[in-house]
């Protein structure tokens, strides 16, 4: 089988969330002596990208996305066996993410966290209803490169502004990227409070962070 065909099949197996098939394909690919990094970047990642589009359109749902991400993780672990030691487990950036205090909505933020992990970011998901101080403490503890917050209600958006101030007061703000999202937020709101960027969807978040850290 030609390399291009491997890429197409890898992407399709991820779209289908077929862990068994993609695991078998990854092993066959390595036997052929092809570059494992190329399959991750051009095959598996392409499948996840397509899933992100389908999810944004409402054509697939969260359980499918989670199963697909697990299938990709399995395939990546197999491919890593043939990768140079200095490239295994290499992360693009450390991301602290959570839903702002007072807001108990969690699904959208969870999808963003899943997608970022798949694309090589080290994600520290704080969950929902997260106090401002917890964001700051975690960012300081792990030396975060990015702090992301989600707000789905207009009443909790003010917490994102408070987070910007808290990070600045802690002396952390100049050394990291802040991003925000959630149904109540807009690009204008992000600019107004001084965040680096606003993301409309999980796919948009991945694209913007990859542009910054790749």
Residues 6+ apart with CB under 8 A from 105: 99, 128, 150, 152, 153, 182
**Sheet of 197-198, strands arranged across:** 122-125, 94-99, 146-150, 177-181, 197-198
- On the 0-12 / 13-18 / 19+ scale of CB atoms within 10 A, 130 is buried
Q: Is residue 195 domain-shared with residue 103, that is, in the same domain?
A: yes
Q: Is residue 157 domain-shared with residue 52, that is, in the same domain?
A: no
Helix (H) or strand (E) holding 36: helix 36-38
Summarised one tens digit per residue, pLDDT across range 115-160 is 787 778 999 999 999 999 999 999 999 999 999 999 988 999 999 9
Q: Is residue 83 domain-shared with residue 124, that is, in the same domain?
A: no
CATH number at residue 33: 1.10.1240.10
Pairing of strands 94-99, 177-181: unpaired
Q: Coil, strand or helix: which one is 182?
A: coil
Q: Is residue 66 domain-shared with residue 104, that is, in the same domain?
A: no
Summarised one tens digit per residue, pLDDT across range 173-209 is 999 999 999 888 999 999 999 999 999 887 789 889 9
Give the Cα separation of 11 and 182 in Å (integer): 29
CATH number at residue 195: 3.40.50.280
Give the Cα separation of 35 and 125 in Å (integer): 32
> What is residue 38's predicted lDDT score, i.e. its pLDDT?
86
Q: Is residue 165 domain-shared with residue 201, that is, in the same domain?
A: yes
* Residue numbers of the domain that contains 27: 3-87
Q: Is residue 79 domain-shared with residue 120, that is, in the same domain?
A: no
Q: Is residue 168 domain-shared with residue 183, that is, in the same domain?
A: yes
Look up residue 130 and give its DSSP letter.
B
Q: Is residue 119 domain-shared with residue 208, that is, in the same domain?
A: yes
Q: Which of 87, 110, 127 is the last residue of a domain?
A: 87
Question: Among residues of the chain, what percentage have pLDDT more than 70?
Answer: 96
> What is residue 87's predicted lDDT score, i.e. its pLDDT?
56
**pTM of the entire structure?**
0.68
* Count of structural domains within the chain: 2
Q: Which of 21, 55, 87 is the last residue of a domain?
A: 87
Pairing of strands 177-181, 146-150: parallel
Give the Cα separation of 150 and 97 in Å (integer): 8
> What is residue 141's predicted lDDT score, i.e. its pLDDT?
98
Q: Which of 87, 118, 145 is the last residue of a domain?
A: 87
Q: Is residue 18 domain-shared with residue 58, that is, in the same domain?
A: yes
Q: Is the pLDDT reported for residue 85 higher than 70?
A: no
Give the Cα separation of 36 and 80 in Å (integer): 7
Q: Is residue 45 domain-shared with residue 119, that is, in the same domain?
A: no
Q: How confident is the model at residue 89 (pLDDT cuts 50, 70, 90)?
A: low
């Amino acid at each position: 089988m030609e390399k291009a065909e491997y890429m197409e099949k890898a992407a399709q197996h991820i779209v289908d969330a077929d862990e068994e098939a993609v695991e078998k394909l990854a092993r066959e690919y390595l036997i052929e002596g092809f570059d494992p990094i190329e399959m991750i970047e051009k095959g598996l990642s392409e499948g996840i990208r397509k899933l992100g589009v389908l999810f944004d359109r409402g054509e697939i749902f969260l359980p499918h996305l989670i199963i697909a991400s697990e299938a990709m993780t399995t395939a990546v672990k197999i491919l890593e066996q043939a990768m140079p030691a200095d490239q295994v487990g290499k992360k693009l950036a450390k991301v602290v993410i959570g839903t702002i205090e007072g807001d108990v909505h969690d699904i959208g933020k969870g999808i963003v966290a899943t997608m970022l992990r798949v694309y090589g970011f080290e994600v520290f998901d704080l969950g929902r209803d997260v106090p401002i101080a917890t964001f700051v403490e975690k960012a300081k503890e792990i030396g975060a490169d990015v702090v992301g917050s989600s707000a789905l209600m207009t009443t909790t958006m003010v917490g994102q502004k408070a987070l910007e101030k808290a990070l600045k007061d802690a002396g952390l703000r100049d050394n990291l990227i802040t991003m925000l999202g959630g149904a109540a937020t807009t690009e204008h709101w992000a600019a107004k409070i001084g965040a680096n960027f606003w993301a409309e969807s999980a796919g948009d978040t991945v694209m913007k962070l990859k542009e910054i850290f790749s």
